[in-house]
Structure formats: structure tokens, C-alpha cells
Amino acid sequence: MSGDVVGVWEVALSDGVHRIEFEHGTTTGKRVVYINGKEVLRRDWMFKLVGKETFPVGSTGAKATINIEAVTGFAYEYTLEINGKSLQAFMDNRSKISRSWVLKLDGADCRIVLEKDTMDVWCNGQRLETMGEFADNGTETHFGVGNHECCIKAISSGRKRKGIVHTLFVDGMIVPEASE
């Protein structure tokens, strides 16, 4: 990567956290997008220096768009949208529809994500096989990571504003939720 990197964003999706880097050569008209260090889009000799570049991110194919706008003279502003929302609005919405936990299992970092709308569970970018069952005061979603028995318990908070509380148990121990 050259010294033309003008924007770097971290996007947390169900299949992991993706680092998006954008190179904009304002003298050459070059535009290059890297995701996690891998080049995914390259355009050389673009005469129009402003505009948009759209590309998929992650295994779910989220639609990312980098907006290039001229601010003054030769200064440019770069903003990232995910699925048509500003990055901040997208992340705020993700925190409503998903829960994430980060822990060490067998010496390795492990990121577990629950998508509340589909009840899909992901671990380090892989969707897991799960088994759901009704329990006394809610539901339990059971799955395995390595030799570890995992369960996400969904229990009503009893308060309408707070809704349902999701708690991850690994080998019977509670794992604190991650703040992404």
C-alpha cells in the first residue's frame, strides 16, 4: 500500500471485524479499496475525483459505499456507508439487532455473535449449527465451540424498554458482553 491512504474504517459484521482502507491518488486519479489488507477494488486514471465506490464486505456481502466529496479546493472528505446507512447509524442499528462476546477459548481469541432477528450464531466468521429449546423463563440456544458447551439464554428483562436479555454461557460460566 502506498502513502495515498486517506480513509480507514473498522466495520463489525456477524462474520468478523473488517478493516477497510481507501487509497485516493488525487494527482493520478487512482482509487484502491483494501479489506483486511487485501485489494478488492482498483481504478486507475479516474478523471472525476469525486463520486462513489461500492463493494461487498464480509461473507454476508454487506454493501459498502465510500463517498468522495470535495470540501474546498484540493481537500476531499471520505465517508463510509454500510447498506445505505452512515457507518455510525449502521453500528448503532447493529447493536440493536445483534449481541457480541469476545473471549479466549483454548488459548485462541473467539468472537461470538448472535443475530437476534434470525437467531443465527457466528463464531470467528463461521455460522454455527445451533439447537434452540424453550426453558422455564425464556429460550436457550445451544451450540459447541471446540470441546466447549455453549448456550445463549434469552430471558425477558421484565421491562418493556429493555426487552430481552441475552446471556452467553460457556461450560456453565457467564461471559460478559463485548462493546464493539
Q: What letter represents residue 99's amino acid?
A: R
Q: Do domains 5-83 and 98-175 have the same CATH topology?
A: yes
15-29: pLDDT as tens digits: 888 999 999 887 888
Percent of the chain with pLDDT over 70: 98
Residue 3: per-residue pLDDT: 66
The cell for 156 is: 425477558
Residue 21: per-residue pLDDT: 96
Cβ neighbours, 10 Å, residue 150: 23
* CATH top class, domain 98-175: mainly beta
5-83 CATH choice from 2.70.170.10, 1.20.1530.20, 2.40.128.180, 3.90.850.10 = 2.40.128.180
111-151: pLDDT as tens digits: 999 998 888 999 988 999 999 999 888 899 999 998 999 99
In the chain, domain spans: 5-83, 98-175
What is the average pLDDT score of the chain? Answer: 89
73-83: pLDDT as tens digits: 778 899 999 99
pLDDT > 70? residue 180:
no
